[in-house]
Amino acid sequence: MASILLFAALLLFGGLTAGVMAGLFGVGGGAILVPVLYEVFGLAGVDEAIRTHMAVATSLAVILPTGIRSAMGHQEKGSIDWSFVKLIAPFIVIGVVLGTLIAREIDGSQLRLIYAVMVLLVAFFLLWSRQNPNIRFAWPADWVTRVYGVFTGCLSTLMGIGGGTFSSSYMTSFGRSIHQAVGTASALGPVIALPAIIGFIWAGFQNELLPAGSLGFISLIGAVLILPASLIAAPWGVKLAHRLSRAHLELMFALFLLTVGFRFLISVFA
């Protein structure tokens, strides 16, 4: 009984944290959910061979409704650039398909290594940009954004995140405000999550190592427990995001990414 209660408590805490992160950073909460789910699934006895895949897939299942809720909040604030969403979204979907195919072929440690390296690179870039605040690049040609969309969709799928890590950094690098970048990133989360969910169901279909209550690599039990908490908490993050200055929001985002990046890097080599 104690282990079941601990399992549920950890999932609910992860859901609340993910919801706040979704609203605050526009990242869908996946960057915190994946490590939390990885540890929780370990406590539940999920085989190491599929634990990371299940953490990524279940995170994406939660990101879909959480991202929609977060996007609605940012839309009310008028902080979503829908022209950017329309330009990049089709190419993000292409990247998601590619990411799903890659995830099916690699093992859990490789998946965690990809996760850790990418979030650390983004974090270091954000910290560098804080030290060089006047360096902003001219807005790129549409083809550059489309190529970046494929990159974003692929890596976001492999990492189990809503893409805010990449799209927010991209927009701020080219002079957009952090608030608009975060708001626009929240709208891209569902664009990534929906096809990725379908892909991970397909990739894990009839896997013999899956625990009870799974749909492909998605833990339905985990999603059901996390989802209500994340939906409740998402508006809290939105409100907090619009109370913070650009400098404070960028610093918090960078420190957050450093924390989760080093955590997964340690898990790969420990």
CA angle 209–214–216, rounded 5-degree value? 75
What 3 state SS string does 4-20 have? HHHHHHHHHHHHHHHHH
End-to-end CA distance of the chain: 30
Q: How many domains does the chain have?
A: 1
Domain residues for the domain of 138 are 2-269
CA of 182: how far to CAs of 25, 188, 229, in Å?
6, 10, 21
Q: How far apart are CA 160 and CA 108, in angstroms?
A: 13
* Residue-level pLDDT, tens digit, the chain, 270 residues: 446 677 777 778 877 877 787 777 666 567 777 877 887 888 778 888 888 889 889 988 888 887 788 788 888 888 888 999 999 999 999 999 999 999 888 887 888 788 788 878 878 877 777 777 666 677 888 999 999 999 889 988 888 877 777 887 788 778 787 778 888 888 888 889 899 999 999 988 888 888 888 899 998 888 888 888 877 887 888 888 778 776 777 778 788 778 878 877 887 776
| pTM for this prediction | 0.76
Burial class (CB in 10 A: 0-12, 13-18, 19+), 143: exposed
Q: How far apart are CA 38 and CA 50, in angstroms?
A: 10
Please report where in the chains the tokens 């927009």 appear, as a residue.
171
**Contacts of residue 179, Cβ cutoff 8 Å, sequence gap at least 6:** 77, 79, 241, 242, 246, 249
Tokens of 63: 């990101």
Q: Give the type of residue at 69.
A: R
For 127, the 3-state DSSP assignment is helix
